[in-house]
Every structure is written in structure tokens, then in C-alpha cells.
Structure 1
Amino acid sequence: MKCGIVDLGSNTIRLSIYHWEGRQFKLLMNKKEMAGLAGYIRDGVLSDRGILVACQVLAGFKALLENFDIRDIHVFATASLRNIVNTEDAVDTIRSVTGLPVEVVSGSDEAAFSFLGATVGGGAPATGLLADIGGGSTELVSYENGIITSGCSLPMGSLSLFTKHVSGLFPTREERRAMRDEVKAELDRAKTAGGHSAHLTGVGGTIRAAAKLCNDLSGADQSNRVIPAGEIRALYKDLKKGDQATLRQILRIVPDRVHTILPGLAILNAVLKSYEVETVLVSTCGVREGYLLRRVMGVNGHE
């Protein structure tokens, strides 16, 4: 069977097409649109323009799926629609315009989907810490032997931090300090385990982009998915310069992250420091695979 899973995120809207049978699945195609919905939020309200952007992207994805004769379409939204005051209006408008219902998942469900995708589909270790840094929220999950021991969803992400604090393309020293203070306050408020984890499994665009940049700097193959925490800290320190060489590197390796990579790294670095992380494994699977496993395939865990 084939289906399309659409992740309506704060920074990107992603379509993944899967073929699945029984308890096995295979990714057939990925498509991404940098919609930047968090940038259309003012005073907690997603503007009509932002809703229209979401409708346009979803209508395009729906047409693409219909061209492939795929009618099984599942759309879910994370912080993009969860953390606004006009959630119901946005969902109703999207459905009336595109014909697609949208499930707005809670922060705890998002964390559970990311965990399920990374551990069942992505080969994450049986015990450790998982971080999913998105555009509008960050999910942290501590787990032992495949079972979640604690988890939280923090209302901050790479794009929401950028939109809230940064006036230009790169944050100034004062803007970086404001972001760092917000990230520290959120982590202090919602510390999941109180201990440390030598290994972090990373999900989301920020962590994938950080790995690409680290691999480029170290000369490692771009398929390398294990990054020493020290390399990520050094990357953040290097990118903070904001000079022409920095800009060129970002535009060459991760051009669509040029404005969100530093805010995203501010979150990632704070997590690495808070939990005394030594190595980061970039998961091949995440929230969309978790949604597929739970909602479409009916898998609840390590079955």
C-alpha cells in the first residue's frame, strides 16, 4: 500500500511518500517547501496570508499525489498550528480550500512520534536522549531500553527564535544573548531527566544541517551520521562570526537554512551542554515515520 504523509511544520512543509506492508515500510520520495509559517504569526495569530501559503503548498502536494494515483493522504501539523490562537479557523480554512483534514498533534504526541520513528525506523540506540529541533518547537525525550522515561515539548524552534529575536540575517551579539537566555530558561523549566546522556539521537532539519556543515569542515563523507559534540560546538563558535566566508559556506551546504541555522544551533548547543552529550547520531527517521507507524500502520512500539 502507498500513502502520503505531510508534516505541516513551522519552517518547512514536507511530503513523504511511503510504500508499506505489514510492519515494514519504504520511503519512495521526499518533497520539501520552505513555507516559513512561523514568520506569518503576529501576536499569536497566523495571518490569512500564512494560511493561504499553507493551502497553496498542500494543494500542490495533493495534486502530485493524485498524479501518482495515491489517494491515502495524511496531514498533521505541529507547532505551526498548535501554538497559535486561531488553530480552529486555520484548520477549517485549509480543509474547505484543499479538501484535506489536518490533525494538530500535541507536543507530547509529537515527541512520541519522533521517538517511535527514530527508534523503530531510524536505528537509534535502545537507551539515550532524543532531541527533535523543529522550526517552532523542540521535543526532548529520555528513554531506557526502548521505553520513554520522561519527555517534554518546548515552545521554541529555529524559526520562531529567529523571528522573535533577529532583525537581520545573522544575529548580533545582543540577539544571540537574548536567544541563549530564552533557551536556557526553557531548558531549566522543563529539564527531562536531571542527569546526563553521552549519546544524543537528533531529529529535524537543524540537526541534519549541522551534520552537513560539520562533515564539510572535517572532510568527512556527507553520509556520516555520527558527529562529536565538540565539532558542533566549534561550528557554532565559527558561524557566530557572520563573515563572508561563513555566509558562503552556509549558502553552499545548507542554503535554505541560512537564517535559521544559528538560532537552531543555539538550541542544540544548550542541549549538548545541559546533558553533557559527547556524540550526536543523526537519525534517518523522525516524526513523519513515527506518524506513519502509529497512525497508519498501527505500530505502538518495538513490536
Structure 2
Amino acid sequence: MNQCGIVDVGSNTIRLSIYQWEGRNFKLLMNKKEMAGLAGYIKNGVLSDSGILVACRVLSGFKALLANFSIDRLYVFGTASLRNIVNTEEAVDTIQAVTGLGVEVLSGADEAAFSFLGATVGGGAPDSGLLADVGGGSTELVAYQDGGITWGCSLPMGSLSLFTKHVSGLFPTKEERKTIKGQVREELDKARAAGTVCPHLTGVGGTFRAAAKLCNDLSGADPDNRLIPAGEIHQLYKDLKKGDQDTLRQILKSVPDRVHTILPGLTILTGILNAYQVETVSVSACGVREGYLLRRVIGGNQYV
């Protein structure tokens, strides 16, 4: 059996997934995440030394964890947290010097393709439709038909980057929500093909998982339910934007690590639902890390 660890250095979280595989079949053995919040360390497009050291600390911890399991293959990639800064090379070089780990910085196109590959091969998406990966620093959209990508894009907005840029408190005010909504609409207008309608959306990433958990908790559905009507997500956003004590309690009960980013993330999510007239959302258990595993690690012509 082959084993390895894959780390996704994101804008909001740094996640380690440990996999085991034989041939084309893989199994997730363990997930571990750290809420590093790297987007909060970016000012004027520069990731600060403090932010770089936060990444180094987390990656060193993950490296030590794998050593305890006697797993010597660790792959690290960065997304918007390292892609959308002006000191990418400095950050990557410092991480390698401190931790001994090389970091591959994915392009927006690669991130979208890996998310699609992970979701579809992992069984989380139908043969045709729209896939969205709402991360902390960027949002990837992929339209596909009969299992093949027809178009895709990466948008420079995410749940944490919108919070950091526009929100002064814990919850966005009415004016801040309006500003966030305007940016979301502007970015989606750039991406959307005129008249495109996708009744079903496959969602990847922490915002989708958090939205599904909140919807399931509020409706009393099975906690493992991954198929959410779009109307429930719209109602969730409407309820949460009140920002009152009941809202805070519900978020802290269901998704405490998303307390500050859930509303900006839901603004992106509902914007996508509106733009593509989505009726149902399925939340995929697999995404960019599984796609990276298949394409970069396992390889094979079936994934090209």
C-alpha cells in the first residue's frame, strides 16, 4: 500500500489529508486542519513575515505528525493565499528554508481543474452541471458536460478575503453587506456566460460544508445529508444576516470556526445560486486535495 500526506495551504485554513492507495483506488485515512487565517496577514498584497512564520509553524507540525506515522511522502501546495500576493517567491523560499518542504503554488486554472477532478472521481458530482469551490481567498467555477470541462475560471474573492477587506466587526453591517454583495456580483458578471442556467450545483470547500451543516441543523435533517435545496441556503443567509444573539449562538453551535467568515461566504454562495438559477446543491466530500492526489501523485492517463 502507498501512503502520503497532502497539505493545502489556503487563505483561511491549512489542511493536511493523509491517503492510502493501491492502483487507482484511494482511501482517506485522516484529516487535520489549522485555522491559520493567512489572508489576515496580507497587507497591500504582501504576506507579512508573521504570516509566513504561521505557515511554517503549521507545516512543521504536520511534517512531525507524518514522521510519527512513518510516512515520508508529504506534498504541499498553495492556492490563493500564496498565488495572489506579490512576494510569492519570498514566501515559498522562506517556508522551504525553515521547514525543508517545497510548496507548489497552483494557478487558478489548476485549482479549478483539481477541484473538479476530485469531486467527480470522488463520486460527488453528476455527469453534467456546475461546480463551485468557495475558499478563503478565491472562488473557482467549472462548468462541465458529460464528465468533461467546458469552461472554468478562478475569481479573486473568498470568504476570508471579503471579511478582511470589508468587515470592521464580527458580523458585516448592512452597508458592509451591500459592499460585499456588489463585489460578488461584479466578479460573477465577469465570469458568467450570458443565459447560462445550471439547475444543479456541486459545492466544494469549507463554506459549502458549513452551509450544509447549518441547514441540516436548522431543518432537523440527517447531519450527513449533502443535498440541500437552494431555497434553504437563501433562507439561511436571510436569517443569519440579522446578526443578533440567536444568530451568534447558532453559528457557534454548528460551525464555530466559521463565525466571522460564514456571512461573506454565503454572500458568494447565494450570488452563484442567483447567477446560474441553481435549484439544488450537493456538497462534495472530495475536492482539490483529492484532485491533486490523482493528478500529481498517483498519475496515469485516466486523469490527464
- TM interval, shorter chain, is over 0.9
1:7-156 alignment to 2 at 5 Å? Answer: 7-156=8-157
Structure-2 separation of matches of 1:247 and 1:150: 38
One-letter code of the match for 1:213?
Answer: L
1:171-182 alignment to 2 at 5 Å? Answer: 171-182=172-183
Deviation at 1:122, TM superposition (A): 3.2
> Structure 1 residues 199 and 48 mapped into 2: Cα distance closer, same or farther (>3 Å)?
same
Mark the runs of 5 or more structure 1 residues left unpaired by the alignment: none
One-letter code of the match for 1:196?
Answer: V
Corresponding position of 2:251: 250
One-letter code of the match for 1:170?
Answer: F
Corresponding position of 2:206: 205
Structure-2 separation of matches of 1:300 and 1:61: 31
> Structure 1 residues 164 and 301 mapped into 2: Cα distance closer, same or farther (>3 Å)?
farther
One-letter code of the match for 2:98?
Answer: V
Q: Structure 1 stretches (4+) deviating beyond 6 angstroms?
A: none
Structure-1 separation of matches of 2:193 and 2:22: 35
Structure-2 separation of matches of 1:129 and 1:25: 25
SS at structure 2 position matched to 1:241: coil
- TM-score for both structures, normalised by structure 2: 0.98
Structure-1 separation of matches of 2:160 and 2:260: 8
- RMSD across aligned C-alpha pairs, in angstroms? 1.0
Corresponding position of 1:281: 282
Deviation at 1:299, TM superposition (A): 4.3
Structure-1 separation of matches of 2:67 and 2:90: 26
Structure-1 separation of matches of 2:21 and 2:77: 19
Structure-1 separation of matches of 2:81 and 2:156: 11
One-letter code of the match for 1:155?
Answer: P
Q: Which moved more, 1:234-243 or 1:291-300?
A: 291-300
- The alignment of Structure 1 onto Structure 2 pairs a total of residues equal to 303
Corresponding position of 1:262: 263
SS at structure 1 position matched to 2:62: helix
In 2, are the aligned partners of 1:142 and 1:148 still within 8 Å (CA)? yes
In 2, are the aligned partners of 1:5 and 1:292 still within 8 Å (CA)? yes
SS at structure 2 position matched to 1:262: helix
> Structure 1 residues 190 and 2 mapped into 2: Cα distance closer, same or farther (>3 Å)?
same
Structure-2 separation of matches of 1:162 and 1:197: 28
One-letter code of the match for 1:225?
Answer: R
Deviation at 1:190, TM superposition (A): 1.6
> Structure 1 residues 14 and 300 mapped into 2: Cα distance closer, same or farther (>3 Å)?
farther
Structure-1 separation of matches of 2:222 and 2:236: 17
In 2, are the aligned partners of 1:146 and 1:302 still within 8 Å (CA)? no
SS at structure 1 position matched to 2:133: strand
SS at structure 1 position matched to 2:91: helix
Corresponding position of 1:272: 273
Q: Does 1:164 align with 2:189?
A: no
Corresponding position of 2:298: 297
> Structure 1 residues 252 and 170 mapped into 2: Cα distance closer, same or farther (>3 Å)?
same
One-letter code of the match for 1:183?
Answer: V
SS at structure 2 position matched to 1:14: strand
Identity %: 77
One-letter code of the match for 2:161?
Answer: S
> Structure 1 residues 54 and 302 mapped into 2: Cα distance closer, same or farther (>3 Å)?
closer
Structure-2 separation of matches of 1:100 and 1:302: 26
One-letter code of the match for 2:273?
Answer: L
> Structure 1 residues 299 and 173 mapped into 2: Cα distance closer, same or farther (>3 Å)?
farther
Structure-2 separation of matches of 1:299 and 1:113: 14
Corresponding position of 1:226: 227
In 2, are the aligned partners of 1:199 and 1:277 still within 8 Å (CA)? yes
SS at structure 2 position matched to 1:235: helix
Deviation at 1:301, TM superposition (A): 5.0
> Structure 1 residues 50 and 302 mapped into 2: Cα distance closer, same or farther (>3 Å)?
closer
- TM-score for both structures, normalised by structure 1: 0.98
Mark the runs of 5 or more structure 2 residues left unpaired by the alignment: none
Structure-2 separation of matches of 1:146 and 1:187: 23
